[in-house]
Amino acid sequence: MTSDSNPLQASAVTPDADATWQTDVRAGVRHAGDLVSLPLSPAERAAAQEAAANHKVRIPKAYLDLIDWNDPADPIRLQVIPQPEELVEHEGELDDPIADHGFSPVPRLTHRHADRVLLFPTYQCAVYCRFCFRKESLTSIGRGFSREALEPAFAYIAEHPEIREVILTGGDPLSLPDKALVEIRTRIEAIAHVRLLRIHTRVPVALPSRVTAGLVSALEGRLMVTVVTHFNHPREITNATEMACRTLRQAGFVLLNQSVLLKGVNDTVEVLEELCRELMYRLGVKPYYLHHGDLARGMAHRRTTIAQGQTLAEALRARLSGICNPVYVLDLPEGGGKVPLGPCYVEARDGENWRIRGLDGEVRGYREVVET
Ligand SMILES: *Cc1c(COP(=O)(O)O)cnc(C)c1O
Ligand code: SF4
Say how many Å lie between the CA of residue 33 and the centre of ligand 1: 35
The answer, yes or no, to whether any atom of ligand 2 lies below 6 A from the CB of 128, is yes
pLDDT, tens digit, 9 for 90 and up, residues 47-77: 888 888 888 999 999 999 999 999 999 999 9
Higher pLDDT, 174 or 87: 174
Residue 25: predicted pLDDT: 94
CA of 128, closest atom in ligand 2: 5
CA of 103, closest atom in ligand 1: 13
Q: State in Å, rounded, how far the first CA of the chain is from the last one.
A: 65
Model confidence at 8, in pLDDT bands (50, 70, 90)?
low
Model confidence at 1, in pLDDT bands (50, 70, 90)?
very low
Residue 102: predicted pLDDT: 84
Burial class (CB in 10 A: 0-12, 13-18, 19+), 141: middle
Residue 21: predicted pLDDT: 93
Say how many Å lie between the CA of residue 201 and the centre of ligand 2: 8
Find residue 225's DSSP bridge partners.
Answer: 197
Mean pLDDT calculated for residue range 253-282: 98
**Containing H/E element for 250?**
helix 239-250
The answer, yes or no, to whether any atom of ligand 2 lies below 6 A from the CB of 168, is no
Residue 278: predicted pLDDT: 98
Residue nearest to atom 1 of ligand 1 (CA): 338
Mean pLDDT calculated for residue range 213-233: 98
Mean pLDDT calculated for residue range 301-310: 97
Say how many Å lie between the CA of residue 27 and the centre of ligand 1: 34
Residue 7 has pLDDT above 80, yes or no: no
Peptide linkage before 171 cis (omega within 30 of 0): yes
Model confidence at 14, in pLDDT bands (50, 70, 90)?
low
Minimum mean pLDDT among 183-197, 244-258, 331-345: which range? 331-345
CA of 55, closest atom in ligand 2: 5
Q: Measure the CA–CA gap between 227 and 250, rounded to whole angstroms.
A: 12
Model confidence at 139, in pLDDT bands (50, 70, 90)?
low
The answer, yes or no, to whether any atom of ligand 2 lies below 6 A from the CB of 58, is no
Residue 238 has pLDDT above 50, yes or no: yes
Residue 143: predicted pLDDT: 62
Question: Using a 6 Å CB cutoff, which residues line ligand 1?
Answer: 98, 110, 112-113, 116, 118, 167, 338
Residue 191 and residue 218 in contact, taking contact as beta carbons nearer than 8 Å? no
Residue nearest to atom 8 of ligand 2 (CA): 132
Ligand with smallest separation from the Cα of 58: 2
Determine the residue type at 97: P
Residue 219 has pLDDT above 80, yes or no: yes
Percentages helix, strand, coil for the chain (3-state, rounded to 5) are 40, 20, 40
Residue nearest to atom 6 of ligand 2 (CA): 129
Residue nearest to atom 6 of ligand 1 (CA): 338
CA of 111, closest atom in ligand 1: 13
The answer, yes or no, to whether any atom of ligand 2 lies below 6 A from the CB of 132, is yes
Residue nearest to atom 7 of ligand 2 (CA): 132
Kindly provide the residue ranges of all beta strands, DSSP E only, lying in the chain, ordered along the sequence.
109-113, 116-119, 165-168, 196-200, 224-229, 254-260, 286-291, 327-332, 337-340, 346-350, 353-357, 363-367
Helix axes 306-319, 269-278, angle to 10 degrees: 50
Say how many Å lie between the CA of residue 126 and the centre of ligand 2: 8
Residue 11 has pLDDT above 70, yes or no: no
Say how many Å lie between the CA of residue 198 and the centre of ligand 2: 16
Domains and CATH numbers, the chain: 15-29+87-341 (3.20.20.70), 343-372 (no CATH)
Summary mean pLDDT of the chain = 92
CA of 200, closest atom in ligand 2: 2
Provide the whole-model pTM: 0.94
Residue 6: predicted pLDDT: 52
Higher pLDDT, 104 or 135: 104
Residue 220: predicted pLDDT: 98
Residue among 255, 241, 181, 256 nearest 206 (CA): 241
The proportion of the chain whose per-residue pLDDT surpasses 90, expressed as a percent, equals 80
Q: How many CB atoms lie within 10 A of CB 288?
A: 17
Residue nearest to atom 3 of ligand 2 (CA): 171
The answer, yes or no, to whether any atom of ligand 2 lies below 6 A from the CB of 202, is yes
Ligand with smallest separation from the Cα of 293: 2
Say how many Å lie between the CA of residue 106 and the centre of ligand 1: 17
Say how many Å lie between the CA of residue 123 and the centre of ligand 2: 9
Residue 4 has pLDDT above 80, yes or no: no
Ligand with smallest separation from the Cα of 230: 2
Query: Residue 1, SS3?
Result: coil
CA of 98, closest atom in ligand 1: 15
